[in-house]
Structure 1
Amino acid sequence: MDFRNAQELLALCEEHQLPISEIMRQREITVGESTADSVDSQMKRVLEIMKDAAFSPIKSPVKSMGGLIGGEAQKLSRHIASGRGICGDVLEKAITYAMATLETNASMGLIVASPTAGSAGIVPGLLLALQEVYHFSDKETEKVLFNAGAIGYLAMRNATVAGAVGGCQAETGVAAAMAASAATELMGGTPLQCTYAASTVLMNMLGLVCDPVGGLVEYPCQNRNASGVSIALVAAEMALAGITQLIPLDEMITIMYTVGRKLPAELRETALGGCAAAPSACEACHICK
């Protein structure tokens, strides 16, 4: 059940008449020489960690280690509860859970790197919001996490998920592609539609730089997780509506990698450019010269 690219993944889906999630699950069992029960148990634990990381800061905000973030998720939750939210149920919850997860990460809490710590809020943010609004079971949500894993695996195998190599497009971009694909399957989309959604995300986040203020995975990382969730939701909606993608996922992954390698070093996690170089950011980190 192993596959090297999205084209091979889709061929397996067609041959076996299975969704992406089950192809990836079978890969984990066979390639990892594990049992079905073991793989399912691990994914159950993944969802448990995601829930705790997304929900805890809403009830009990925690200041980040660098002091740049903390309490944003609770503010969003209260704003939404007041009835003044403008994004709609799914997106409002998704951005709240995404920002909460980054708060957990930045305060040294336990998160699931999906695919990285700095982008860890996007996949759980969107999937937990969909689960809550549409009443999906934990089993259904755990299932499509394998779909998200398949997209992340393709990006890691054929490109990168490291901000230091490909910029933030390789971190929050890939995370949003994972979330979009998983959300598309969760809402009844086909394997091909899942890859359309993932490709659309990478296109719309192409060239995003990695510029952590003070070198910390706090700001603007948390804000970009919230934005990544919204881009993932838009891409999934488009795919589910039957909108096709001119550029297939394999090509878009290659394009993302090529663009990332061309970014100057100052814009690849070195904290020497972009937002990190703003005077106000330097002052907040007490690193002004």
Structure 2
Amino acid sequence: MVSSLDIARSGEELIKICEENSISLSEYAIRREMEDREVSREDLFLKMKKTLDVMRHGATEAREKEVYSVSGLIGGDGYKLQEYLKSGKSLTGDTMILAMAMALSSSEVNASMGRIVACPTAGSCGIIPAVILTAGERLGKSDEDLIKALFASSAIGMIIGRNATFAGAEGGCQAECGSAAAMAAGAVVEMMGGTPKMSLDAGAIVFKNVMGLVCDPVAGLVEVPCAKRNSSGAISALCTADLVMAGVESKIPFDDALSAMYKVGRSLPAALRETALGGVAVTKAGLELRKKVFGDE
């Protein structure tokens, strides 16, 4: 059995524990999970492999065929991006197009009542799979490497969950897609050989870049603009990982950025926290789409 590790209650504590024990974020999460759940490393990896398989399927299904939501508000965009990828005409490059296609695929599978992993929420389910799978493909990583990346993302998620929120209804979309992107960025930094501090710097930068992002789902459904925010979050995570690996540091530590995100989220009016009473949900087009879905006035 592995030696016991202290429970990290902040990003600062997490970095300290990892540095003192010469371990990665993923190893921290693995050891904590083994101890908390009293399971073996092998069983833990087998369970996370099942999670990875569900993520991979969700990130693939709507790229291979057109998948539409039950409401009809979204669908077919993951397939469009995949076809565009084949054209070789991308301005931003194959990596970015692939990540966006994967993120949209998971979002469309979710909205069609398909099977996804809520990571950390169903509304942000496309970001972590898209980022880790895309980075894994481009970096030539094995499934074991991807599983470790998922554990690394969960280490960051533990800190977010303990000190803030993942809920759009409480903190806006910065808490949903923002948290997913922060977790994903940190995981990719570890995949690329970065330190725990560098991973948390990446998370901090993501939070700063989405600070104040509202949650305004059209018709109250997790579809518009949610799916496209998943694609945007995936790109943010990948770009931020490159920023950090180039040596860029966050002047605002992770804990401070997280605290600011939470305070800003709680300060948002109720109309901008998943109630569909503000933002794009109440624009002319947004209201017309609601009427189309529900047939109300």
Is TM more than 0.5 here? yes
- 2:84 aligned with 1:79: yes
The whole-number CA distance in structure 2 between the counterparts of 1:274 and 1:32 is 42
Q: CA deviation at 1:134?
A: 2.0
Counterpart position of 1:105? 110
Determine whether 1:282 maps to 2:291.
no
**Matching residue within 171, 175, 180 for 2:176:** 171
Find the aligned partners of 2:208 and 2:150 in 1 and give their Cα distance: 22
User: CA-to-partner distance for each residue in 1:54-85, whole Å, 9 max, x for gaps?
Assistant: 00111122210111111101001111101111
> Counterparts of 1:212 and 1:121 in 2: how far apart (Å)?
16
The structure 1 residue matched to 2:48, chosen from 32, 43, 46, is 43
Q: Please name the residue that 2:100 is paired with.
A: 95
- The answer for unaligned runs of 5 or more in structure 1 is none
Q: Which residue of 1 aligns with 2:71?
A: 66
Report the Cα distance in structure 2 between the residues aligned to 1:253 and 1:153, rounded to whole angstroms: 12
Deviation at 1:259, TM superposition (A): 0.2
The answer to whether residue 245 in structure 2 is matched with residue 240 in structure 1 is: yes
Paired letter, 2:115: L
Matched to 1:142, the amino acid is I
Task: Output the aligned Cα RMSD.
Answer: 1.0
Contact 1:91 1:126 in 2 (8 A): no
Deviation digits for residues 4-37 of structure 1 (CA, Å, limit 9, x no counterpart): 1111111111111111110111111112222212
**Deviation of residue 89 (structure 1)?**
2.1
Give 1:92 shift: 1.2
TM-score with structure 1 length normalisation? 0.98
SS of the counterpart of 1:53?
A: helix
Aligned to 2:142: 137
The Cα shift of 1:285 comes to 2.2
Q: Spell out, residue by residue over 1:102-160, the C-alpha distance to the aligned partner (whole angstroms, 9 max, x if none).
A: 00100011111110000011111111111122221111011111010111111111000
Alignment pair present for 1:114 and 2:94 = no
Alignment equivalent of 1:57, drawn from 51, 62, 79: 62
Determine whether 1:146 maps to 2:148. Answer: no
Q: Equivalent residue of 2:198, what SS? A: helix
In structure 2, what is the equivalent of residue 257 of structure 1? 262
C-alpha distance in 2, partners of 1:11/1:22? 14
| Corresponding residue to 1:231 among 230, 236, 253 | 236
What is the alpha-carbon distance in structure 2 between the residues aligned to residue 64 and residue 128 of structure 1?
23
C-alpha separation between the residues in 2 aligned to 1:21 and 1:178? 12
- Alpha carbons 1:98, 1:124 under 8 Å: kept: yes
Cα distance between partner residues in 2 of 1:136 and 1:74: 25
The answer to whether the Cα contact below 8 Å between 1:89 and 1:133 also exists between their aligned partners in 2 is: no
Rounded to whole Å, the distance in 2 between the matches of 1:102 and 1:121 is 6
Deviation at 1:206, TM superposition (A): 0.3
Report what 2:161 is aligned to. 156
1:10 aligns with 2:1: no
SS of equivalent residue, structure 1 residue 117: coil
Aligned residue identity for 1:246: K
Q: Once the 2 structures are TM-superposed, how far is the Cα of residue 53 of structure 1 from its aligned partner?
A: 0.3
- State the Cα deviation string for residues 246-287 of structure 1 (Å, max 9, x = none): 111111111100000000000000000001001111112216
Letter in 2 for 1:25: I
| Contiguous gaps of at least 5 residues in structure 2 | none
Q: TM-score, normalised by structure 2?
A: 0.95
Task: Give aligned pairs, total.
Answer: 289
User: Per-residue CA shift, 1:196-218, capped at 9, x if unaligned?
Assistant: 00000000000000000000001
